[in-house]
Amino acid sequence: MKPPFSLVPALPVAAGLASGIACAATQAGAVALCIAAGAALAAGLWLWRKARWFASAPLAFAIGIALYACGDRRMPAEPLPARSVLAEAIYTSPMQGEAAAFAAATLVADRQYVTTHLRDSLRGSGLAHLMALSGFHVGIVAALAMWLTAPAALLRRMQAARALAAMCIVWIFVAVGGMGAPLVRAAVMFSLLLAGRLAGRYVSPFNSLCVAAVAILAVSPGALFELGFRLSFAAVAGIIAFADTLNPVDRARRPHLWRLTAMLAVPVGATLATAPVVAHTFGTVPLLFLPANVVAAVVFAPFYMVSLAVALLGAAGVEAVWLARCADALYAVIARTAEACCAPVQVHTGPAALTALALAVVALAFVLGQLKKTAATPPCGT
């Protein structure tokens, strides 16, 4: 019988690579020694057949050190020229000033006209992820891409073409947005999901997350120290760990109710996992993040699609006034929700408190997962 962790073979590679990069950043003088030790440990674990699965971790550790010491520490890609075209189309559209600035920030990562008041409100209400291009935005674009390519699903032979078209749409969006770590992470996970469906195989979300981490760190080791990287991966890990365990509804029996309760479980899971990073970086945590994210889950996707339509039509020379008014109204709901739920709580976390908080989150995820499994297991004799 295979051990449970055999389902996520990318985990030791991702952990080893990240540890090696972190070690190289703090212990630059011991690079050669660490590489040699990691390679030797990898060989030893590989020879010990029972521990062979772990052999990739020290090898990846050595590779991570080498990558950080020799590689480019910045994301190499630049946004496509279409970014400036879309930004100009947004700013010259009939959308109001603040709505247009917010749309430009969420569509093409152009935040130059976003007001300080809106930034503070979004951060204090737990909605800062809306303004930073992330997996949430890629998810909306991916859903739109799957909807646009839905007619191809009627023909069995067109399934591969549909998946390829959806991947292309998502990766073009990622390229226009500047290939940031959160965007690449979401695009890699989406691509693996579609590839798994085509192959008729289950794709572990956690394994896909680790594969995305390996891909990003292999190209840009310095991304490990970027705030967007840490928040993005922590949020997704929290959603994977907590979203199902915190949801009291049985997905198989009541799928529609499960989707509604997921609107509460998903932001709670993401906030729990990112709390150590947010507390360490900003010194505050949002108190009213839950109602703010519930409203955003309902309103932001329509705003995103409508503002994208306004931008594309504007780039084509079409002035969609009525769509712009819809975008203005949806933005007003988001802005007022962020302002009403802006309640940051000051926290002071030193290294020890930060470590304890992170370990507490991991322990909570483990305990809730065990309780969920126990509740789902039927009693003996039934």
Most confident of 61-75, 119-133, 357-371: 119-133
Note the pLDDT tens digit of each residue in 150-179.
Answer: 776 666 667 888 888 889 999 988 888 888
* Residue bearing tokens 């799928």: 255
pLDDT digit string (tens) for 83-107? Answer: 788 888 888 888 988 999 999 988 8
Tell me what pLDDT residue 336 has.
94
| Average pLDDT of every residue of the chain | 80
Give the residues across from 345 on adjacent strands.
Answer: 285
What is the per-residue DSSP string for 51-69?
GGGGGHHHHHHHHHHHHHH
Looking at residue 4, what is its pLDDT? 40
Mean pLDDT across the stretch 56-76? 70
- In whole angstroms, give the CA distance from residue 299 to residue 158: 33
State the virtual CA torsion across 259, 261, 263, 268 in degrees, nearest 10: -140
Q: Has residue 362 got a pLDDT over 90? A: no
What band does 34 get if pLDDT is binned at 50, 70 and 90? low
pLDDT of res. 132 = 78
CB 371 within 8 A of CB 245: yes
Buried b (16+ CB within 10 A) or exposed e, 76-85: eeebbeebee
Q: Output the pTM of the full model.
A: 0.82
> What was the pLDDT predicted at 377?
62
